[in-house]
Each structure stands twice: as C-alpha cells, then as structure tokens.
C-alpha cells in the first residue's frame, strides 16, 4: 500500500470529493498543506466550501481531470471500475488509496484515535462525544458523517492528539483503521450486498476489535447477542455498557419531558452516579449517551463537563431533525433506512407532542428492501399513517422484483393505514390534503426523501 508522508505534502486528487466523508478528508489535507483537487457530479455547499479553501474541483468526471502533477488518487467503494478518472489513474500508474486507507493513515498521526462503529448510531454518537470533547477543551480533530452545527460542518481540524471518526463496516472499510479506542454500538444484519450473513458481519467486527493495541480499549454494547465473542482472545481493555446493571455503564429511571426530551440515571458498576439530561429524544439515544460517557471518562473528562457537553447536543443533520411547521403540522426528517432504526425513530416520536404520526418512507436499495421486506413492514406499522415513495436505487440496477407498492400492501395487511404514490409531487399534494393541525410528519430514508418536507415548507 502507498504510504503518505504527512511531513512532505503532495498533490492528492479525490474522485467523488463532494461526499460527506471524502470532503472532510480533503479538508484535513488542505489544513496540513497538501495540494488538493477532486471531481464530482455537481456543485454543492461542501464542494463550494472546499473551493473557498483552495481545492481545485472539476464538475463531471473525465480522464482529462487526471493531470500529470497528481501524486496520489483517492476513491471510494462506490466508484465503478469503469470510471474514466480511475481508469486514467491506473493507466498513468499513479498510486491510489481507498477513502478508508487514507483515513487509516491519518489516524496513525494521533495518540488518541477514537473510532465509532456499529450498524446504527455512528453519526449521532460521534457527534455526542465531539460535543463533550469540545466542552472539555480537548481541541479534537473531528470527522463526522453528517453536518454538526457545533463545528459548522462535517470536519474540524484541531491541534491535539485526539481524533474521532466514524468507522463503517461496509466493504470492511473499518479494517483499514488504526484506533486506540474503539466503540461497537450494535451489530445487526445490513449491507447484505457485501456480507454473506450475520456471522460474516460479526467476524468483521471481531477483526475490527482486534486492530486495537494491547493498551487500547474496546467499549462495547453488552446488549449485543453473545457480545463476549466479539473480543474473545483479545488482550485490549474492555468496557461494557447496556440496559443491564451488570454492564459497567447502564441507565435507570428513563423519563421524558413535555417536549419529548429524555433523561436518565447514570449507573456505574451497579451504583448510581448522576442524573443525565439530553436535548434529543428516544431510548436509543440513552444507549448512545452511555457509550459517550464511557469514552469521555476514559479520557479523564470530569462528569460535569460530560453532562454539559451531552446537554448541548441537539442532534445532527437528518437525525430526527426539526424542519419546520406547516398549517400546524410539525415536519421532522430522519435518515433511518434499516428496520431497527425506523422502529427506534417511530418509538421516539411517540414521546414527541402530536395527534397523528405520519411517516413518508423511501426504501434505500432493492437489496436491503428484499432482505428485510417483512421487517420493514412491521417497523413502519408503528406509525399511524405510512406513505411510500419509490425505492431509491443508489448503486443498484437490478430491482430483484421489489416495489414500494408491494411494501405498502404488506403494511396495510398489518392493519396500518398505508399508501404508495409514484412521485414526490403526488406525495406532497396528498399530504397537504390529509395531514391536519397537530400532526407529526416524518420524512424518512437515506435517499432524497428530505426534499418532500422541504418542498412543503417552501
């Protein structure tokens, strides 16, 4: 593998520089004095920000963008092997690294590299911990998979030995990392276009845990089935958290205020420690907060600082994000695209003041829809009314016989009011006619379903 010498900045080109993670890595390199160029399909606030900071960006991907002064090319798993720039880089024999390999090499420059992994909750937990690190003046470098208001974007370059990032299991990206502290939030079936089954996924998380050095620490959710197996045979330190008081960190007396915000008693080694209040909702965020407390205490951050940092976190972009109100209808957007995430979000919404709960869901990929068809129907049935948009294909072309109309029928069979409409304009018109004052409307999915709520508010 090509090794970057961070003491001698070079010219690095990113194929797909506008992605949430790629843009963050590009910004880190710009801050380190590297010459950065890249390409993407269209101009976005992220690419404009990079241009303002000195990056040269091409809109449209073509072989001419690969100039002979480029020293290394960065690409993601989403880039097709027939991509014109990738093929030109190969032809010119320019050294190449994946996004994950570059991120791993960046992590090696920090003594306290923190990697947050799990099927769900990575962005939220990374953001929660980031708030605590900032509250504690640790001056961290942060790479998060969403827009975090506290840092005004998805990246912050600090001047300390502390670095925090998300660690995604898809295509085993996180196996390229060099963490000192690793968090495993949960392990469930997902990305079955890459993994064979749940055992294959668990094996990857075991490999991820094994990346830790002997003086490293694994923080793991004890609610994961047979969680001890994940760190079996490893010599690193292990800290647990979860719903049971037998875990090192747990929560009791969970309650919600009249705005749906959650608080709980923090229990450490079976003994009450403190009362923690959050500015977000949902039992799943109690779990995320427990992981955040475990990381923060490991870094010797005082409890009062931890409490203030957690309370200051009001959520990230597209995670139960309040968008506005239209004719008395509250509109929220959420990134949930897996049955477990959907159920957690809809359960959290029950604590939010409302009359009827409407969910507009856009399934993400045919593979995932087929793998969890019945689970999607059951999870979505927790809303009062469900509206289905067409499946967002993302990188896929084969429909596998999956349709949103079929999913709507399955939800109806479970006794929940469910509709399929063929385009966003039809959905928006339907919602204007059927939602009434006091209702809560959630647009949900990993695609562009967020546009529906934003269009309504316009």
Q: Catalytic residue positions?
A: 122-123, 166
Distance in angstroms (rounded) separating the CA atoms of residues 355 and 450: 22
From residue 274, give the alpha-carbon distance in Å to each of 52, 241, 306: 45, 15, 11
Strands 262-268 and 271-277: antiparallel
Token reading at 381: 């049935």
Closest CA to 176 of 143, 208, 141: 208
Query: Across the strands, what pairs with 321?
Result: 333
Q: Within a 13 Å sphere around the CA of 374, how many CA atoms are in the beta-carbon half?
A: 0
Contact 428/457 with Cβ under 8 angstroms?
Answer: no
Contact 297/132 with Cβ under 8 angstroms?
Answer: no
Distance in angstroms (rounded) separating the CA atoms of residues 130 and 310: 9
Burial of 418: CB neighbours in 10 Å, binned 0-12, 13-18, 19+: buried
Q: Computed from CA positions of residues 31, 36, 41, 47, in that sequence, does the dihedral angle turn out positive or negative?
A: positive
Token reading at 203: 């094996």
């Amino acid at each position: 593998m090509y090794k970057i010498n961070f003491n001698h900045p070079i010219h690095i080109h990113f194929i797909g520089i506008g992605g949430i993670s790629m843009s963050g890595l590009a910004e880190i390199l710009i801050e380190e004095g590297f010459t950065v160029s890249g390409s993407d399909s269209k101009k976005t606030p992220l690419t404009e920000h990079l241009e303002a900071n000195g990056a040269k960006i091409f809109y449209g991907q073509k072989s001419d963008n690969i100039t002979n002064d480029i020293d290394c090319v960065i690409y993601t798993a989403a880039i097709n092997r027939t991509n014109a720039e990738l093929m030109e880089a190969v032809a010119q024999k320019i050294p190449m690294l994946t996004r994950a390999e570059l991120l791993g090499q960046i992590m090696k420059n920090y003594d306290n590299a923190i990697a947050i992994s799990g099927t769900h909750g990575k962005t939220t937990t990374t953001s929660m911990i980031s708030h605590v690190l900032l509250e504690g003046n640790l001056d961290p470098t942060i790479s998060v998979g969403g827009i975090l208001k506290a840092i005004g974007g998805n990246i912050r370059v600090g001047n300390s030995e502390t670095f925090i990032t998300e660690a995604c299991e898809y295509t085993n990206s996180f196996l390229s990392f060099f963490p000192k502290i690793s968090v495993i939030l949960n392990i469930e079936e997902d990305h079955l276009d890459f993994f064979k089954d749940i055992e294959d996924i668990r094996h990857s998380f075991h490999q991820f845990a094994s990346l830790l050095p002997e003086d490293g620490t694994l923080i793991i959710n004890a609610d994961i089935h047979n969680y001890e197996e994940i760190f079996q045979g490893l010599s690193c330190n292990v800290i647990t958290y979860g719903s049971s008081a037998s875990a090192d960190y747990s929560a009791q007396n969970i309650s919600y205020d009249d705005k749906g915000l959650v608080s709980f008693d923090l229990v450490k080694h079976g003994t009450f420690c403190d009362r923690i209040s959050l500015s977000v909702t949902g039992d799943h965020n109690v779990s995320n907060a427990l992981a955040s407390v475990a990381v923060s205490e490991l870094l010797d951050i005082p409890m009062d600082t931890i409490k203030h940092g957690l309370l200051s976190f009001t959520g990230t972009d597209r995670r139960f994000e309040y968008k506005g109100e239209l004719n008395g209808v509250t509109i929220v957007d959420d990134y949930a695209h897996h049955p477990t995430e959907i159920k957690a979000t809809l359960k959290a919404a029950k604590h939010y003041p409302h009359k009827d709960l409407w969910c507009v869901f856009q399934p993400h990929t045919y593979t995932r829809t087929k793998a969890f068809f019945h689970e999607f129907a059951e999870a979505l049935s927790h809303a009062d009314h469900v509206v289905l948009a067409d499946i967002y294909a993302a990188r896929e072309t084969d429909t596998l016989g999956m349709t949103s109309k079929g999913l709507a029928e399955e939800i109806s069979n479970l006794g929940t009011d469910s509709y399929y409409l063929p385009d966003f304009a039809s959905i928006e018109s339907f919602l204007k006619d059927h939602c009434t004052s006091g209702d809560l409307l959630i647009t949900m999915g990993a695609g562009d379903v967020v546009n529906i709520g934003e269009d309504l508010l316009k």
